[in-house]
């Protein structure tokens, strides 16, 4: 099929560009040079670049560097991109030039085309839209801005929802006592509320770690331009852009105290990715606990029954699987893998520039979005409405010889071990065996071995 084209020019010469494309020669070169994955940088990232262009145009106008009508046209064009228009005009592959220059120029060219059309005069992608900027400070800034926005807007609220759901479920089942497990083996009893409190605390700690990392993410590289010296930018440009970004987003963005660090390293992104990995580890622990507790329903633990969401087998009728916890485990695995990529990419700072910026942006935003989505799924489709199988819990608890641990202070460890082994061999309740082997009164044993009494402590109000 013939594609209509037009001729565009850049510093390297002429290029044929699709006739209906808003972008120009540099974008088309990138499309042809990097047919690698078919993956584009996330919309959140493109919007962050557009926001930077919008604030830069406004600042340049106020500094007397840019004609007001051209600046207004760039701002309006950027707003259209921020509003979700023209999403099909950003076709550059994630795996491109390591500085992200191709994406920066893609945005510059699209905004220049829209602004030229609206202003009725020529707007230059380089001289106007990219004024006082370099790809080398725009792309690192866009990583920080897009990640900070995503963390605040979707991830932290989702994690807080998960934590609140877990705590509410625990409180609703606070009367339930079950067999604790260490090494997947029967251990001392625990209240279901205490078990779930441990999950919630993991999530809460993850949010604390994220919040502790955000101040480094709020430091932006914008104003460092090519190598950190601020060449071709007004001395007030960096501070004013940071202030404008803070006003636009409600987040406390400030210029990085060292633009040389801001351009040459991505340590803040690596740090945040590490916190995301830690959250993923917690999600996998919770998801696997749910899978074990739901296992069965006859030959497994059978402690809970997760909501039945879909048929579990194409061959075994009636089988229902723990699909949400399984999906959560896969998300956790992906986030851990993304962190490994970001870690390697973070080492790619050679002298004054990191040259794996696009893949950092892609993986960091993917991890944030994956965790946000799966946290809400876990809360709403697995934890909020699982049914506790109290009959199974009580049956296992009544036969648990490990309850004899409570008798250690009265009869000693070795004697208690004898009682436990005898109870295991006979399959009888520990109270009956202890009464026969210790000489302690049954009433005393019932009081000491009461599972509910043995679970006191462990939750701070």
What are the distances in angstroms from CA 362 to CA 94, 342, 345?
A: 7, 9, 11
**324, 318 contact by CB (below 8 A):** no
Beta bridge partners of 181: 186
3-state helix, strand and coil shares in percent for the chain, rounded to the nearest 5? 60, 10, 30
**Is 183 known to be catalytic?**
yes
What are the distances in angstroms from CA 308 to CA 109, 160, 321, 332, 346?
A: 50, 25, 8, 22, 43
Please identify which residue in the block is written with the tokens 């228009």. 85
**Is 234 known to be catalytic?**
no
d(CA 77, CA 268): 30
Please identify which residue in the block is written with the tokens 């001395």. 235
Give SS3 for 292.
helix
**Catalytic residue (choose from 183, 265, 350, 398):** 183
Beta bridge partners of 388: 304
d(CA 419, CA 228): 73
The set of residues, in sequence order, having a beta carbon less than 8 Å from that of 204 and lying 6+ positions away, is: 163
**Catalytic residue (choose from 99, 128, 295, 313):** 313
The catalytic residues are 183, 313
């Amino acid at each position: 099929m013939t594609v209509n084209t037009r001729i565009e020019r850049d510093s390297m010469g002429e290029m044929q560009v699709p006739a209906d494309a808003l972008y120009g020669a540099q974008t088309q070169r990138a499309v042809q040079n990097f047919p690698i994955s078919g993956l584009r940088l996330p919309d959140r990232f493109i919007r962050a670049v557009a926001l930077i262009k919008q604030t830069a145009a406004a600042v340049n106008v106020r500094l007397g560097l840019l004609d007001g009508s051209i600046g207004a046209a760039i701002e309006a064009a950027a707003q259209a991109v921020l509003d979700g228009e023209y999403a099909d005009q950003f076709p550059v592959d994630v795996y491109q030039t390591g500085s992200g220059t191709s994406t920066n120029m893609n945005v510059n060219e699209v905004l220049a085309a829209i602004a030229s059309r609206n202003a009725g005069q020529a707007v230059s992608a380089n001289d106007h839209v990219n004024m006082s900027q370099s790809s080398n400070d725009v792309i690192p800034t866009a990583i920080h801005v897009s990640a900070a926005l995503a963390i605040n807007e979707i991830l932290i609220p989702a994690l807080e929802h998960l934590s609140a759901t877990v705590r509410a479920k625990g409180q609703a089942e606070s009367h339930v006592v079950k067999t604790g497990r260490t090494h997947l083996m029967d251990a001392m009893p625990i209240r279901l509320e205490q078990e779930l409190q441990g999950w919630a605390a993991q999530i809460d700690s993850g949010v604390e770690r994220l919040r502790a990392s955000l101040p480094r993410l709020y430091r932006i590289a914008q104003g460092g331009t090519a190598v950190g010296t601020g060449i071709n930018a007004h001395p007030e440009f960096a501070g004013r852009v940071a202030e404008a970004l803070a006003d636009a987003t409600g987040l406390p963005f400030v210029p990085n105290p060292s633009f040389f660090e801001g351009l040459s390293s991505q340590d803040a992104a690596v740090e945040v990715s590490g916190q995301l990995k830690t959250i993923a580890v917690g999600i996998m622990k919770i998801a696997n606990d749910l899978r074990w507790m739901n296992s069965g329903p006859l030959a497994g633990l059978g402690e809970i029954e997760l909501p039945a969401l879909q048929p579990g087998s194409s061959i075994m009728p009636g089988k229902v699987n723990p699909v949400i916890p399984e999906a959560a485990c896969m998300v956790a695995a992906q986030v851990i893998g993304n962190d490994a990529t970001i870690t390697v990419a973070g080492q790619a700072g050679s002298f004054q520039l990191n040259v794996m910026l696009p893949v950092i942006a892609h993986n960091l935003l993917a991890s944030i979005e994956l965790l946000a989505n799966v946290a809400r799924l876990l809360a709403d489709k697995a934890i909020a409405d699982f049914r506790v199988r109290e009959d199974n819990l009580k049956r296992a608890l009544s036969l648990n010889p490990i309850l004899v641990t409570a008798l250690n202070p009265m009869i000693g460890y070795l004697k208690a071990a004898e009682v436990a082994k005898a109870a295991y061999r006979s399959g009888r309740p520990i109270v009956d065996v202890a009464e026969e082997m210790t000489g302690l009164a049954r009433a005393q044993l019932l009081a000491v071995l009461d599972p509910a009494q043995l679970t006191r402590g462990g939750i701070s109000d």
